[in-house]
């Protein structure tokens, strides 16, 4: 049936589209126009009108009238540190300062070319930023993977690493073609502390352990070259990296713009326990376990001090304690924000520049669209001349950034990637990986009476109802920080392939809930074997610089969804596009809404993933990486309260699944249904671990709930893990059996919890997870090994991380599927 005949909206309406054809043609035209807009390809390094693949090419130096053999920094036989010392030592103060910003000017006098540091690769190669990455001619686009919140819902570490690897391969290919640089400021690993945060789409969710494991795997995928290339003589600053990855935004950043609070002036008042337990943990994992080569500091202040001028955060913690092997960059314009917005200590530009550099900031990103230079470049020379910083501070910053470029092969090349080209961008394999990632991140929230999957052999016609931007989601599915996609498979496109008779009612925001619009939607729902409603949010509701004020569906979507459900002769299927949770209690409680699927923002292949789940080609196995609260939550606690634990005096119910103790939520963290059923079994029913306390170690007190302290008190209530070798472990296996009739992926989560009388402890905390595929009727054994210090520890109110004595619980599973056993810790003094 022709597309125009399938559309149910009237052509006389100025706000409802008579057909999707116009929108589809417009989208095609826009993509074609963008693809045609690029200039000819250029090499990664352009000098004197010619293109070169490496800085230290003798021909390039000759073009500058220089002899490469006279520059020790181009002697590949020397250690990187010696070479960078030679490079920095040759530069004048003015030349040095001109290379402290994201648009480094280079130093032609000594053969150093310009370099644009700013790159974004949140869920694919993006052209956000001042031109370091661009699309056109031979590279019209790059693979747009699902948003990070979708990827997190897969709970699949190998998937996360594969996506990072695919993104870095496309970056390397584009670099060879002159379309990209080698430094990318991704991933965003801030914990989603509050469900209203506008940037939830960019992050892996509310659990610091999940966020940290995502960071480790994505960074390893981006950076790791392979087993054949390792650090010279064990020097981690010499380990080759494929593409530099940057974990951001450090620290305690999760307020963008909520009523009168905004990120530029917000002072996050954070207790030390919360810093250690929640806000710092993903970054520590990213650096220690992922070996990230970059950390970005955030706009906000933390306990009165700007994050980008806090020596305790940047130098003592990131560089010294966690051993960062790389550089620290400001979120763009953060140093200027100290002066212009926060008015911190009434500092001048020179003073703010000096404070940030002395705190450990290496590179200052400026706001290119304001036409203003970064502060380091603007005020760096004056800061030295006025005695605010030493020139050696500048040298140290440049050493960190140019060591990173050495490791990337910017100076010498990297032969293993030099063959990559245009065919390695938007490859068939990468598009299928994007589709698989989208499938794995789909979460089945409700499925009454097995409404899903729809059987294409029985369903001969489908009514597709919703906002045009969701049905024909050429933009919404791509989310924020995206580039130009290879292609976009919309829900409409993909569902049409499943069921040819597809009746469509698509309207713009605000038009669906008119009497005419609701009437047409209801009539559309009556004429098909099944009705699929696609609804949700978009980047006008949740994005950077825009936090939400409530958790409801905007544009009165609730009203017309209920109207469609009432009109349909069969229970409808509701698909939600969003990043943060949405209070769809109305749909959960409506018997005429048979199934709800959370699709998130699933990237360029999202339509395929949605259709595959709805029609049973893929059995959904995703889990929510966020708690979905009911809308009443927004009236219980202000977004600006940074505390995680409940506060009875203020009536605050706490945050995230770890601490929330208020009324029942809509869907808990980890919720996700399947088209089949699973069961758990384990031979382990308990374990005992004896930890000897050395003469150099000291027991720590433990906080108990009021009236719950044990009697007699244990001789050693808790052990500080910082003083212990931490070799002790508990190993067990869980047998996951598929008792249904269809194979499926299943996430096995493992939580721990201290004994009940311990006060102010997490209700439970995730310490491990595995995603496995279990064929119908089969069983898979899933092994786990928990390190006692890491996985059974809690953070005390003193901010010590301790292992409590006594019986802690190991809890496997979520919702109704759960088993648990006790691990008794004996601390033997």
Q: Nearest 5°: phi and psi at 179?
A: -110, 5
Assign 773 to helix, strand or coil: strand
Any alpha helices (H) in 728-822, and if so which ranges? 788-791
**Cα-to-chain-centroid distance, residue 202:** 5
Orientation angle between helical segments 391-407 and 349-359, nearest 10 degrees = 60
**Cα-to-chain-centroid distance, residue 292:** 15
Any alpha helices (H) in 37-125, and if so which ranges? 58-63, 80-90, 93-97
Enter the DSSP assignment of 791: H
Q: Which two tokens stand for residue 94?
A: 């003015």
Assign 138 to helix, strand or coil: coil
CA–CA separation, 8 and 16 (whole Å): 10
DSSP characters over 368-409:
GGGT---HHHHHHHHHHHTTSS-HHHHHHHHHHHHHHHHHTT
Closest Cα to residue 747, out of 791, 780, 698? 780
Q: Give exposure, 204-242, as e/b (b: 16+ Cβ within 10 Å).
A: bbbbbbbbbbbbbbbbbbbbbbeeebeeeeeeebbbbbb
DSSP characters over 652-710:
B--SHHHH--SSPPSB-TT--B-SS-EEEE-S--EEEEEEE--TT--EE---B-TT---
The reply to whether omega before 128 is within 30° of 0 (cis) is no
Which residues is 530 bridged to in the sheet?
Answer: 462
Contact 286, 226 (CB under 8 A): no
Q: Strand 327-330 and strand 45-47: pairing?
A: unpaired
Q: Exposed, middle or buried: residue 143 (CB in 10 Å: 0-12, 13-18, 19+)?
A: buried
Q: Which two tokens stand for residue 731?
A: 């190993």
Told to judge if 331 belongs to the known catalytic residues of this protein, a careful annotator would answer yes
Those residues whose C-beta lies under 8 Å from the C-beta of residue 653, and which sit 6 or more positions away, are 633, 636, 637, 646, 660, 661, 662, 663
Closest Cα to residue 201, out of 537, 611, 669? 537
Enter the DSSP assignment of 139: B
CA–CA separation, 541 and 387 (whole Å): 47
User: What's the half-sphere exposure (Cβ side, CA atoms, 13 Å) at 520?
Assistant: 25
What sign results for the dihedral spanned by CA atoms 628, 631, 632, 634? positive
DSSP characters over 295-360:
EEE-SSEETTEEGGG-HIIIIIIIIIIS---SEEEESTTHHHHHHHTS-GGG--HHHHHHHHHHHT
Q: Which candidate in 331, 362, 436, 547 is catalytic?
A: 331
Q: Nearest 5°: phi and psi at 719?
A: -115, 130
Torsion, Cα 426 429 431 434, to 10 degrees, reads -130
Please give the span between the terminal C-alpha atoms of the chain, in angstroms, as a whole number. 79
Enter the DSSP assignment of 146: P
Contact 584, 596 (CB under 8 A): yes
**Rounded to 5 degrees, what angle do the CA atoms 403, 409, 415 make?**
155
Those residues whose C-beta lies under 8 Å from the C-beta of residue 57, and which sit 6 or more positions away, are 68
Those residues whose C-beta lies under 8 Å from the C-beta of residue 176, and which sit 6 or more positions away, are 44, 53, 417, 418, 420, 421
Active site residues: 331
């Amino acid at each position: 049936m022709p597309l125009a005949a399938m559309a149910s909206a009237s052509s006389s309406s100025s706000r409802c589209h008579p057909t999707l054809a116009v929108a589809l043609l417009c989208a095609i035209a826009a993509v074609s126009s963008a693809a045609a807009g690029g200039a000819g390809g250029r090499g990664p390094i352009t000098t004197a009108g010619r293109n070169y693949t490496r800085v230290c090419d003798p021909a390039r130096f000759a073009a500058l009238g220089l002899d490469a053999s006279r520059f020790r920094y181009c002697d590949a036989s020397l250690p990187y540190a010696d070479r960078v010392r030679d490079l920095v030592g040759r530069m004048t103060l003015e030349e040095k300062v001109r290379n402290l910003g994201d648009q480094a000017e280079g130093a032609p006098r000594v053969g150093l070319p310009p370099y644009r540091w700013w790159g974004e690769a949140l869920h694919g190669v993006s052209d956000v930023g001042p031109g370091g990455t661009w699309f056109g001619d031979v590279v019209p686009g790059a693979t747009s993977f699902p948003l990070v919140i979708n990827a997190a819902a897969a709970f699949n570490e190998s998937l996360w690493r594969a996506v990072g690897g695919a993104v870095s391969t496309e970056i390397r290919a584009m670099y060879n073609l002159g379309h990209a640089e080698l430094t990318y400021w991704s991933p965003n690993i801030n914990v989603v502390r509050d469900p209203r945060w506008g940037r939830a789409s960019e992050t892996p969710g509310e659990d610091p352990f999940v966020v940290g494991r995502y960071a480790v795997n994505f960074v390893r995928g981006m950076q790791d070259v392979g087993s054949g290339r390792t650090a010279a003589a064990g020097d981690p600053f010499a380990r080759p990296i494929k593409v530099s990855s940057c974990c951001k935004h450090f620290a305690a950043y999760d307020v963008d713009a909520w009523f009168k609070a905004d990120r530029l002036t917000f002072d996050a008042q954070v207790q030390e326990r919360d810093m250690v337990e929640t806000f710092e943990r993903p970054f520590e994992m990213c650096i220690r376990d992922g070996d990230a080569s970059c950390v970005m500091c955030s706009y906000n202040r933390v306990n009165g001090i700007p994050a980008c001028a806090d020596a305790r955060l940047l130098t003592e913690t990131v560089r010294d304690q966690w051993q960062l092997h790389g550089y620290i960059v400001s979120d763009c314009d953060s140093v200027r924000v100290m002066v212009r917005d926060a008015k911190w200590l009434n500092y001048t530009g020179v003073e703010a520049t000096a404070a940030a550099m002395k705190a450990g900031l290496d590179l200052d990103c400026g706001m290119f669209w304001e036409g203003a230079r970064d502060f380091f470049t603007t005020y760096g020379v004056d800061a030295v001349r006025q005695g605010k910083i030493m020139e050696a501070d500048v040298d140290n910053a440049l050493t960190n950034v140019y060591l990173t470029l050495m490791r990337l092969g910017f100076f010498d090349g990297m032969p293993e990637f030099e063959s990559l080209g245009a065919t390695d961008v938007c490859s068939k394999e990468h598009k299928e990986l994007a589709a698989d990632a989208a499938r794995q991140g789909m979460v089945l929230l409700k499925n009454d009476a097995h409404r899903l999957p729809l059987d294409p052999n029985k369903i001969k016609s489908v009514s597709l109802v919703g906002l045009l931007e969701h049905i024909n989601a050429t933009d919404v599915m791509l989310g924020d920080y995206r580039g130009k996609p290879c292609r976009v498979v919309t829900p409409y496109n993909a569902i049409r392939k499943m069921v040819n008779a597809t009746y469509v009612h698509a309207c713009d925001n605000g038009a669906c809930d008119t009497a005419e619009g609701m009437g047409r939607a209801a009539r559309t729902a009556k004429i098909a074997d099944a009705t699929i409603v696609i609804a949700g949010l978009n980047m006008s509701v949740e994005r950077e610089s825009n936090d939400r004020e409530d958790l409801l569906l905007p544009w009165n979507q609730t009203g017309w969804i209920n109207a469609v459900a009432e009109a349909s002769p069969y229970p409808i299927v509701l698909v939600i596009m969003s990043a943060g949770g949405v209070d769809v209690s109305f749909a959960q409680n409506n018997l005429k809404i048979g199934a709800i699927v959370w699709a998130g923002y699933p990237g360029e292949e999202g339509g395929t993933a949605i259709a595959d789940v709805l029609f049973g080609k893929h059995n959904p196995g995703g889990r929510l990486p966020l708690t979905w609260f009911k809308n009443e939550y927004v009236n219980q606690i202000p977004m600006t309260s940074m505390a995680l634990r409940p506060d009875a005096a203020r009536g605050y119910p706490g945050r995230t699944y770890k601490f929330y103790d208020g009324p029942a939520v809509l869907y808990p963290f980890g919720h996700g249904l399947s088209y089949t059923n699973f069961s758990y079994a384990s031979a382990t029913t308990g374990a005992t671990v004896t930890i000897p306390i050395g003469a150099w170690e000291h027991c720590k007190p433990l906080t108990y709930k009021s009236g719950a302290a044990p009697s007699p008190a244990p001789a050693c209530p808790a052990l500080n893990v910082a003083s212990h070798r931490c070799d002790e472990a508990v190993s067990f296996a869980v047998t996951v059996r598929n008792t249904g009739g269809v194979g499926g992926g299943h996430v096995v989560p493992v939580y721990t919890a201290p004994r009940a009388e311990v006060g102010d402890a997490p209700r439970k905390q995730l310490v491990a997870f595995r995603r496995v595929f279990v064929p119908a009727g089969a069983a898979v054994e899933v092994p786990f090994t928990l390190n006692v210090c890491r996985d059974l520890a809690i953070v005390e109110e003193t901010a010590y991380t301790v292992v409590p004595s006594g019986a802690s619980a190991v809890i496997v599973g979520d919702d109704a599927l759960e088993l648990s056993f006790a691990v008794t810790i004996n601390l033997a003094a």
